[in-house]
Structure 1
Amino acid sequence: MSARAGSNLIERANRVAAIAGKFADSVDKEGRFPHEAIDAMKAERLLGIQVSCEMGGESAEIDQIAETCCILGQSCAASAMIFAMHHIKLSSVVEHGQSVEWHRDFLRHIAEKQLLLASATTEGGIGGDLRNSICAIEVDGDTCRLEKNATVISYGVYADAILITSRSHKDAVSSDQVITVFLKDQYTLEKTNEWDALGMRGTCSEGFVFRGEALKVQILPRPFADIAAQSMLAQSHTLWGSLWYGIAIDAVSRAQAFVRAAARRNPGTPQPGALRVAEASNMLQMLKSEIIACLKIYNDAKRDPDKLASMGFAIAMNNLKVATSQTILQIINHAMLVCGIMGYKNGTPYSLGRHLRDAHSAQLMISNERILGNTATMLLIHKQNTSLLG
């Protein structure tokens, strides 16, 4: 994507963010899907930007998608999360599906129709471990069938297609997985639980029994283990981190506005909250640096298959997720202390309750405990990189 096209993307993202921001509080309060924001994304053609230009998209790189997540996160975290999750799923097809004509046609259709993709990687009985499945895809000639107790499918009833994991066949071990694209008219969803959550309420992450029948070619041709390690891991942690950074930016901006307003009312009087704003700004800068560094690591690794499959790469992405999910809470807490009761109350220009509640989901989306456990195992055999230069 050219610099001019990138600038155009930022303008479009800002227009969507302005619409998302108008409805963010009602989306949160009512726990409803952010129709207005998603309709605006489709109108601005943001859902197909990752698809290549020759297939009708814009060949957007991870940096541009991350920046869009950041912009949206400053207005409505739930809308930003839906955008991020859509592109995380889209990356699986872009990076791993193009050897099959059906998937190339699917990419063209996404770009043309601005289809919204959802994910079904969690399952009852596996404890949130997306790298294991109980259910198995059944292949019968040119047809495949799947039934899965999916404990969470974010915005599942609003999606145009769902990418869903399973064992590769009925005799496969739990970690031998594939991921399959099912179009909306190829499956049914039987709701098993509601979504009445602390934060990220607009993602509508309900649970369902999924039952689908599709063509065998809709199974992505690469094992899910490769897809997870080579694109999904990095896409998830960089895009989530970017939108969480956006939440923190808006929280600090509200705290900064609070201090400025107090200074105007009492000119020449020291403002105690100003020091906390400075501390929060420092943490924001460190968080931004971490995200930018990991975006560079990912871009470099995409050109080197050995790096992409290395423990060092996986550890860097794991560290990014843990660091961003923990740091945003510290930043927002600082902002809350600055704004005081005006930040604690809803309905004020300085309200931070939604920011704090949305941010608390970050440590749970692929649990930090699970990620730290995986990193600890890798560090038993992997030597830490001690260089500043790479």
Structure 2
Amino acid sequence: MTGEATLLDATSIARELRTVFAARAAEVDATASFPEENLADLRRAGLLGLLVPATAGGIGADLATVSAVAGELAAGCLSTALVWAMHTQQVDAVVRFGSPSLREVLLPRVAEGAYLASVTTEHGKGGHLLSSDAALSHSADDVEIVRDAPVVTGGRHADGFLVTMRDSPGANQQETTLVYANREQLELSATSGWDTLGMRGTASGGLKLRGSVPKSHVIGAPGRFREVALDSMIPLGHIGWASCWLGTARGALAALVGHVRSPRRSKDLDPRSPLVAERLARIRTDLEIVSAYLHRVVDEVTRARADGTPLGTSAQIHLNTLKVVAAEHTYRAVDRMVQLAGLGLGYRRDSAVPLERHLRDLRSASLNYSDDRLLVATGTLTLADSDVRLA
């Protein structure tokens, strides 16, 4: 690592960190521990401020750079990369929708390394993003947060939180407001641990939060979180997740190809074998499909932001499709790698190519904001997109 990142070398620094993170990934997985050392490295490198404008001390990167950095980090440690990608999602919401006073104070802190977590899950509604049960209480100057979330990625380690809540006790569930709170403004208590099949380092246990913040900490218009979600949190979430999953699968394939090309390979992995070549081709095809669609959607969202135009129905379909395609194809690719590598190389936890861990981690992809929910939404949106504007 060479010091604080700039726009030109952010991806190169992420590539350096990839090697460092890979060396720690097995321990993070085995102990289900939050990757604090990795977060400290990201902080020192300036990558927590990747989307913070240069005027506030950050890098001011574009979405293509976010995607590239996420992929590099995920090739080393998917848990770390996903924590970073979700932090970046929160930063984008502050940059695009935060009040001037909040941006003035918070964005320089993020550029210096403050880590932001997302609080959108809720008992009874799961991960449904656009509605809330718990309601904000309003006073003359402040809003009071009382929130119980069953899943908060990296919450116990966060310096600040973006929280969705019903705008008031009299508001309906869809009148959701996004509000920011510094850690020191909240009383926090853990309600559950995080002992899971994969993604064990994200420390996504439950949290209760209680505290008050100034009304200037409301992000976007009160009760209109949907606008923030459609413009910022959904695009950054789906692009970030897809980039992470693809980065992990791509790194796994590179390691497997290196083994197949090595003179120390097993006799079952003869590179001259047509069966080996055919199976590698199918794996590569899965990843090429995800990569092409990811780049296409990044370009679409980038153009819309440059033009100042909202993301329409077709763009929302494309974002949903990206998430589902990336979740399904990257998992299938690694599953195929396990099958090709066999019991000794592909299935053992102590293998030189950690396909077993990648398979467990990527199994979460279809569950991380359920593919079923997104497919239902995409089907409904398809009825409104009569021109069928394909990506």
| Superposition TM-score tier, normalisation by shorter sequence | over 0.9
Shift in alpha-carbon separation, 1:253–1:173, aligned structure 2, 3 A: same
Structure 2 CA distance for aligned equivalents of residues 365 and 246 of structure 1: 17
Deviations 1:42-90 (Å, cap 9, x if unpaired)? Answer: 1101001211111111111111011000001101000000110000011
Could you say which residue in structure 1 is the equivalent of 2:107? 107
Shift in alpha-carbon separation, 1:252–1:94, aligned structure 2, 3 A: same
The alignment's C-alpha RMSD in Å is 1.9
Shift in alpha-carbon separation, 1:56–1:261, aligned structure 2, 3 A: same
Could you say which residue in structure 2 is the equivalent of 1:334? 336
Q: Which residue of 280, 295, 309 corresponds with 2:283?
A: 280
Deviation for aligned residue 1:154: 0.9
Structure 2 CA distance for aligned equivalents of residues 250 and 269 of structure 1: 22
Given that residues 71 and 245 in structure 2 are in contact (C-alpha distance below 8 angstroms), is that contact kept between their aligned partners in structure 1?
yes
Could you say which residue in structure 2 is the equivalent of 1:244? 245
Given that residues 259 and 273 in structure 1 are in contact (C-alpha distance below 8 angstroms), is that contact kept between their aligned partners in structure 2?
no
Deviation for aligned residue 1:204: 0.3
Structure 2 CA distance for aligned equivalents of residues 10 and 280 of structure 1: 25
**Number of residues of Structure 1 aligned to a counterpart in Structure 2:** 382
Structure 2 CA distance for aligned equivalents of residues 48 and 106 of structure 1: 11
Deviation for aligned residue 1:138: 1.1
**Which secondary structure state, in structure 2, belongs to the residue aligned with residue 209 of structure 1?**
strand
Identify which range, 349-358 or 290-299, moves more after superposition: 349-358
**Is the counterpart of residue 17 in structure 1 residue 25 in structure 2?**
no
Structure 2 CA distance for aligned equivalents of residues 274 and 66 of structure 1: 29
Q: Specify every segment of 5 or more residues in structure 1 that has no aligned partner in the other structure, as ranges.
A: none
Deviation for aligned residue 1:278: 2.1
Could you say which residue in structure 2 is the equivalent of 1:299? 302
TM-score by length of 1: 0.93
Could you say which residue in structure 2 is the equivalent of 1:346? 349
Structure 1 CA distance for aligned equivalents of residues 354 and 24 of structure 2: 15
Given that residues 254 and 335 in structure 1 are in contact (C-alpha distance below 8 angstroms), is that contact kept between their aligned partners in structure 2?
no
Could you say which residue in structure 1 is the equivalent of 2:57? 56
Deviation for aligned residue 1:282: 2.0
**Is the counterpart of residue 220 in structure 1 residue 219 in structure 2?**
yes
Could you say which residue in structure 1 is the equivalent of 2:368? 365
Deviation for aligned residue 1:258: 3.0
The one-letter code matched in structure 2 to 1:199 is G
Given that residues 118 and 163 in structure 1 are in contact (C-alpha distance below 8 angstroms), is that contact kept between their aligned partners in structure 2?
yes
Given that residues 314 and 389 in structure 2 are in contact (C-alpha distance below 8 angstroms), is that contact kept between their aligned partners in structure 1?
no
Shift in alpha-carbon separation, 1:204–1:264, aligned structure 2, 3 A: closer
Deviation for aligned residue 1:16: 1.9
